[in-house]
Structure 1
Amino acid sequence: MRILSLHNRYQIRGGEDECHEAEVRLLQEMGHLVDVYEQDNQRVAELGHLKMAVKTVWSQEAHQTVKQQLKQHSYDVIHIHNFLPLISPSVYHAAKAEGVRVVQTLHNYRLLCPNGLFFRDGEVCEDCLGKSVPLPGILHSCYRNSFAATGVVSAMLSVHHTLQTWSDMVDTYIALTEFARQKFIAGGLPANKIVVKPNFVYPDPGIGEGDGNFALYVGRLSVEKGLDTLLSAWEHLDSKIPLKIVGDGPLASQVQQAAQRLPQVEWLGRKPMAEVHELLGKAMCLVFPSKWYETFGRVAIEAFAKGTPVIAANIGAIAELVESSRVGLHFRPGDPFDLASKVDWLVSHPTELAQMRREARSEYEAKYTATKNYQQLLDIYSSSESGEVARPGFAGVGSRE
């Protein structure tokens, strides 16, 4: 099978970049011919505002390049990951013109919400859900806190809603969880075109010992990730278990101040993936305090791979991934006292913790290995190639098979 994989890299490397690379590497190692068309957001600075606005709505450069690539080679499928802002949805039309089937992974909520998060002013916001013109997002400058930038992204969404790009130009959408799938259906995407296939961890990092006697947070240091809840919880713990924080972002200075103020909190900054996996393997638990819905939660399944339980906010996709009392615990989102109580409970129940560690590793082996994911992806490609109607949720995380 020959696949053309498209991805617009982020300025700061994140989970979407890692997922794209892992998928391409897996397909290539399984003997498929995978060509990659990428743009990098490092280019954004060299382009003027007008050029960026035009490219965001319709990149003629990407359209022509991809169309020429499709003409020169016989592709079975084109798989699009992130297209914003340099690739644009113009590539869907290039694929349709050349008769190549299109698969789109929905890594965020961008098709439904200008900032892709359903999050504004510290709270979940669905004001733009289902709207062909996301006017509330424009009025609140939701994308990069910029009225102009939000206007451009909203124009892209509205233009392609009018062109029926989202409904007609994509053969199969991949949602990462059933929760995300239901949001996209509520937002107007065709239900029969959306299947569920989770992300995966590849290569298998191997189970850890869990002997580090600390809790761990890994991720972007930003408001929607619930850093205020996390730091406040560590002021109210009875157990005083250390907390290590890995990551960077706009709240870095607040995290640094908290680490100076609270002796049990340590900020490690950004770390290479190998070091992150080592920390995950040693940690008593991973804490996932997000206030927004998430579409998945890649670090949670990395924790499962290491046999590490996850204490997660009971909201959105992450609540779906973490089965409470089996592979971790839930707490009320935004409630530092409830989070603190769950951490203290885990510290004081070593027998249950040991069982959760075994179940976490089993969860990884059942759902999130490369072998499982590869077969799911092939099923999706085959369904798209043959023109069959995708079976919603057939590759979903809801089944242990």
Structure 2
Amino acid sequence: MEKQKLRILQVHNAYQIPGGEDVVVANEKKLLEMYGNEVITYSRNNTEINEMNAVQKLLIPFSAVYSFKTYREVKKIIRENHIDVVHVHNTLMMVSPSVFYAAFDCKVPVVQTLHNFRMLCPAGSYFRGDRICEECSEKGLQCSLKYGCYRNSKAQTFVSAAILKIHRMLGTYRKVNFICLTEFNKEKLSKLNKGAKKIIDMDKVYIKPNFTFQETAPEEPHTELDYFLFVGRVEALKGIDVVVKAFEKLPDQRLIVAGDGPMMDEMKTYIREHHIQNIEFAGYLNKTQVQEKYRGARAVIMASQCYEAFAMTIAEAYSNAVPVIAGNVGNLAKMVEDNKTGIKFVYDSPDDLADKIRTYNQMDIGKMKQNAKAFYEKRLRPEDNYRILEDIYHKIIGNK
């Protein structure tokens, strides 16, 4: 029997620099509306900070913990639109966890998708300096203050840590339903309950991966797959230096880097000083341009130096029948089936990446392209994702 269509309030706080979360939120709204649901959006943006006066900026640490503006506005939307479920994505910094209290007071179930690891790590990435770091999970949030983990700022890290600490103490998170993108992420989240006090209710934690809409393939597909492709921000977190140093050892293999970021100048200087001729920095590409690059790639290289909450690049590669060469770490290791949809390497080793690329070139790439597409068809299609999300909504509505 077809389930009742719902009125969903989608809540999202955009960062000052747009990122993958914004794409996921937009995709999910489009998907819900495709199936006849009504989606009302409440969005705020951290660029609001730029318009504030000095006094307002001083109050940010307090409003980030609890925003009366968000509370009033969300409560009004819920009541006027007879909202069935509130779906929260990001709350940092302007929305704040006050959105949960607006839902609680209106007796409407609320669920948050966890797009990163910020429930356990104020930086959200489990990454510090040049390595994976889980000190805040193991020793407490005060570790982040010592290092200034969030945006290399002790002041901003204090705010991020304070939000977590205060709402853990208040029991806010025990009342919220959560969506984790993978089993790996759910297992990490469960570490919040290691003490005597239960921070979250694991019975209210669900798993739903991200998805990607499959783009229409061109009439004339590429027949020569003559390059490897890196898609992402040009920064240490994404392992761009690992990839560049690997291709330095492979002068006969071509690499295209699609993306921009803080290490762009450093990497361009590196390849110039080392006389590297086989790496092309294409810069930022729009969606159509990136799709074109996917279709001509032998494989996509994923060298993230962190766990990655969910690797959208892998989902996009698979939707285009492109295998992936990925670091054997975190969720990357879970999304790549070794010698089937791609091949895995020691995530922080340029030498091993170079070796694995040589190995990959001896494999049946045609068969691996078929496997990559099959992975997408089995796990990452939007229609299947909708059924999972629909079931979650109706379950939490029934449990309210």
- TM-score by structure 2 length? 0.92
The 3-state SS of whatever aligns with 1:69 is helix
Q: Distance in 1 between matches of 2:105 and 2:24?
A: 28
Q: CA 1:205–1:119 in structure 2 vs 1: closer, same or farther (change >3 Å)?
A: farther
1:387, 1:83 → 2: CA distance? 24
- Of 217, 240, 243, the residue aligned with 2:252 is 240
| Residues 74 and 102, structure 2, Cα contact 8 Å, conserved in 1 | yes
1:176 aligns with 2:174: no
Q: Compute the displacement of 1:205 (Å).
A: 4.3
Partner of 2:3: none
Q: Distance in 2 between matches of 1:383 and 1:205?
A: 34
Quick one: distance in 1 between partners of 2:65 and 2:373?
43
The offset of 1:212, in angstroms, is: 3.4
The Cα shift of 1:130 comes to: 5.6
Instruction: Give ranges in structure 1 of 5+ residues lacking alignment.
Output: 389-401
SS at match of 1:187: helix
Match of 1:53 among 61, 86, 89: 61
Q: 2:308 aligns with which of 280, 285, 294?
A: 294
Tell me if structure 1 keeps the 8 A contact 2:186–2:205.
yes
User: What is residue 211 of structure 1 aligned with on the other side?
Assistant: 224
Q: Hey, what's the Cα distance between the residues in 1 that align with 2:204 and 2:50?
A: 36
Partner of 1:124: 132
Contact 1:210 1:281 survives alignment (8 Å): no
Q: Does the 8 Å contact 1:77/1:381 carry over to 2?
A: yes
Partner residue of 1:355? 367
1:310–1:327 contact (8 Å) kept in structure 2: yes
After the TM superposition, which parts of structure 1 deviate over 6 Å for at least 4 consecutive aligned residues? none
Task: Indicate which of 101, 107, 120 corresponds to 2:109.
Answer: 101
Aligned-pair distance for 1:59?
1.1
- Residue 374 (structure 1) aligned with residue 382 (structure 2): no
Q: How big is each residue's C-alpha offset from its partner over 1:206-225, in whole Å with a ceiling of 9 and x where there is no partner?
A: 48646331000111122121
Alpha-carbon separation, structure 2, partners of 1:105 and 1:192: 15
Partner Cα distance (2:352, 2:303) in 1: 11
Q: Deviations over 1:13-53 (max 9, x none)?
A: 21100000000011112111000001122222223431322
Specify the code of the residue in structure 2 equivalent to 1:53.
P
User: Among 51, 72, 83, which residue is 2:80 paired with?
Assistant: 72
User: Per the alignment, in what secondary structure is the counterpart of residue 156 of structure 1?
Assistant: helix
What code does the residue aligned with 2:128 have?
Answer: R
Q: Give the AA of the match of 2:156.
A: A
Give, in whole Å, the separation in 2 of the partners of 1:210 and 1:255: 30
| Within-5 A mapping of 1:135-150 | 135-150=142-157
Task: Work out which of the residue numbers 244, 269, 286 in structure 1 matches 2:283.
Answer: 269
Name the CA distance, whole Å, in 1 between partners of 2:21 and 2:384: 19
Look up the match of 2:324.
Answer: 310
Q: Which residue of 1 aligns with 2:201?
A: 190
Contact 2:322–2:372 (Cα < 8 Å) also in 1: yes
Aligned partner of 1:62 among 70, 75, 78: 70
Q: Report the identity percentage.
A: 35
- Counterpart Cα distance in 2 of 1:185 and 1:60: 30
- Does the Cα contact within 8 Å between 2:75 and 2:102 map onto a contact in 1? yes
Tell me if structure 2 keeps the 8 A contact 1:8–1:41.
Answer: yes
* Mapped pair 1:155 → 2:162: yes
Equivalent residue, structure 2, for 1:223 = 236
Counterpart secondary structure, 1:173? strand
- Could you tell me how far 1:102 is from its partner in structure 2? 0.7
**1:332 aligns to what?**
346
- Which whole-Å deviations, capped at 9, do the CAs of 1:143-175 have from their partners, x for residues lacking one? 11111111111111111111111112x1x2111
Q: Residues 113-166 of structure 1: CA distance to partner in whole angstroms, max 9, x if unpaired?
A: 0100111121111000166x5100011110111111111111111111111111
CA, structure 1 residues 138+323, in 2 after alignment: closer, same or farther (shift >3 Å)?
Answer: same
CA–CA distance in structure 2, aligned partners of residues 148 and 362 of structure 1:
47
Query: Is the partner of 1:266 in helix, strand or coil?
Result: strand
CA distance in 2, matches of 1:55, 1:221: 33
After TM superposition, the score normalised by the length of structure 1 is 0.92
- Does residue 81 of the first structure (1) align with residue 95 of the second (2)? no
> Structure 1 residues 304, 68: CA separation in 2 closer, same or farther (over 3 Å shift)?
same
SS at match of 1:296: coil
What is the alpha-carbon distance in structure 1 between the residues aligned to residue 223 and residue 111 of structure 2? 39
Q: In structure 2, what is the equivalent of residue 394 of structure 1?
A: none
Q: Structure 2: which 5+ runs fail to align?
A: 1-5, 194-199
Amino acid at match of 1:372: D
The letter of the residue matching 1:96 is F
Whether the aligned pair in 2 keeps the contact of 1:55 and 1:88 (CA below 8 Å) is yes
Shift in Å at residue 374 of structure 1?
A: 0.7
Amino acid across the alignment from 1:264: N
Q: What is the rounded CA distance, in whole Å, between the counterparts of 1:265 and 1:291 in structure 2? A: 20
* Structure 1 range deviating more: 69-78 or 136-145: 69-78
* 8 Å contact from structure 1 (residues 210, 284) kept in 2: no
Q: Distance in 2 between matches of 1:354 and 1:307?
A: 9
Tell me, yes or no, if the aligned pair for 1:130 and 1:187 is still in contact at 8 Å.
Answer: no
RMSD of aligned residue pairs (Cα, Å): 1.6
Separation of aligned partners in 2, 1:196 and 1:323 = 20
